[in-house]
Amino acid sequence: MSETPEPTQTYEQAREELADVVRRLEAGGLTLEESLGLWERGEALAELCQHWLDRARERLAAAAPTDPQG
């Protein structure tokens, strides 16, 4: 199994776009199709943010000293 390539959008970019999507959805005034499109984009952005957070946790775990008593 090959490793997933790195996303082209940074965590900060994805988080900011996700916040914008939420603001637009909360403001209302959208058609059903527009709302669904934004919801789907928000789901994709949330997954991307989770990817970056998971990678950060992995890097922290790899950098943490091992417990000699463990």
Q: State the pLDDT at residue 24.
A: 98
Q: State the pLDDT at residue 5.
A: 61
Model pTM score: 0.77
* Of the candidates 21, 30, 26, 24, the residue with the CA atom closest to the CA atom of residue 49: 21
Q: pLDDT digit string (tens) for 1-45?
A: 445 566 789 999 999 999 999 999 999 999 999 999 999 999 999
pLDDT at residue 60 tops 70: yes
Burial class (CB within 10 angstroms; exposed 0-12, middle 13-18, buried 19+) of 48: buried
